[in-house]
Amino acid sequence: GKSIKISRAQNGFIKIDVKKGAGKIKLTFIPNGLKEGSTEFLSGIALFIIYNKIRKKKSLLYYVLLSQILFV
Cβ atoms within 10 Å, residue 19: 6
Q: Note the pLDDT of residue 72.
A: 63
Alpha helices (H) along the chain: 34-70
Q: For residue range 2-61, what is the model confidence (pLDDT) as tens digits?
A: 777 888 888 888 888 877 877 778 888 889 999 999 999 999 999 999 998 888 888 877
φ/ψ of residue 7, rounded to 5: -115, 165
The domain segmentation of the chain, as residue ranges, is 7-70
Which residue, among 53, 31, 35, has the nearest Cα to 43 in the 3D structure?
35
- Identify whether the C-beta of residue 7 lies closer than 8 Å to the C-beta of residue 15: yes
